[in-house]
Amino acid sequence: MLEMPDLVAESAARLRLMAFDVDGVLTNGNLYYSPRGEELKVFSSLDGHGLKMLQEAGIEVAIITGRSSEMVAHRAANLGIRHVFQGVEDKRAAMRELRTLLDLDSDCCGYMGDDVVDLPILRACGFSATVADGHDFVKQHVDYIAQKGGGAGAVREVCDFILKAQDKLDDMLQTYLQQ
């Protein structure tokens, strides 16, 4: 995390849209192929619930990724994520399109990526995050560095951070004690 966590929390408190990369963020970045050449991905259920909590709190969730995969489409549908951009070469342009669609300023938008190809979109958002095992150069240019790795709870950590910055996390967690 940056040296000024109060400013980072202020940035997270303004978010109305949080978008995520897939490989290396929602997954561990490894590419698995079946004997028939089908691509397989492993997703964290902790991360998935964090994404659902963001949505329940009124924050739009999106996926913007450079690769295309049916697995991503299935996971997004399972989580109710309506905004899915796959096979994107210019992620910053995809974010601009999404911002226009949702009528949002860049300071209300965030992105979580892990590699240098994500830097243009990371730098174009009001809040940026990466995973613990993200590229070192990316870590120098984001607001928040998760303590956990891609596909291993880093997304949930960022979701919780955002919800805490918006004073929503404690109330949301309390509902699970009252059930």
Q: What is the mean pLDDT of residues 2-26?
A: 88
Backbone angles phi, psi at 134, to 5 degrees: -70, 170
Residue 20: give its domain's CATH number: 3.40.50.1000
For residue 178, tell me if it sits in a domain: no
Q: What is the spatial distance between Cα 2 and Cα 6, in angstroms, rounded to a whole number?
A: 9
Q: Residue 149, SS3?
A: coil
% pLDDT > 90, the chain: 90
Q: Point out which residues pair with 61 in neighbouring strands.
A: 18
Q: What is the mean pLDDT of residues 80-90?
A: 97
For residue 134, tell me if it sits in a domain: yes
Question: Which of 117, 115, 96 has the alpha carbon at shortest distance from 105?
Answer: 96
**Neighbour tally for 78: CB within 10 Å:** 11
Residue 1: the pLDDT is 38
For residue 41, tell me if it sits in a domain: yes
Q: What would the pLDDT profile of 55-67 be if each residue is shown by its tens digit?
A: 999 999 999 999 9
For 155, the token pair is 């997304």
User: At 4, is the pLDDT very low, low, confident or very high (cuts 50, 70, 90)?
Assistant: very low
Of 50 and 39, more confident: 50
Question: Which of 43, 29, 40, 46 has the alpha carbon at shortest distance from 134?
Answer: 29
Residue 3: the pLDDT is 40
In the predicted model, is pLDDT for residue 114 greater than 90?
A: yes
Residue 6: the pLDDT is 87
Residue 62: the pLDDT is 98
For residue 144, tell me if it sits in a domain: yes
In the predicted model, is pLDDT for residue 2 greater than 50?
A: no
Rounded to the nearest angstrom, the gap between the alpha carbon of residue 153 and the centroid of all alpha carbons in its chain is 11
In the predicted model, is pLDDT for residue 124 greater than 50?
A: yes
Residue 91: the pLDDT is 98
For residue 68, tell me if it sits in a domain: yes
For residue 150, tell me if it sits in a domain: yes
Residue 38: the pLDDT is 87
- Kindly tell me the burial class for residue 54, based on how many C-beta atoms sit within 10 Å of its own C-beta (0-12, 13-18, 19 or more): buried
The full DSSP string for 78-122 is HHT--EEE-S-S-HHHHHHHHHHHHT--GGGEEEE--SGGGHHHH
Residue 39: the pLDDT is 87
User: At 5, is the pLDDT very low, low, confident or very high (cuts 50, 70, 90)?
Assistant: low
For residue 98, tell me if it sits in a domain: yes
Residue 178: the pLDDT is 86
In the predicted model, is pLDDT for residue 49 greater than 50?
A: yes
Task: Tell me how many domains the chain contains.
Answer: 1
Domain hosting residue 142, numbered range: 5-171
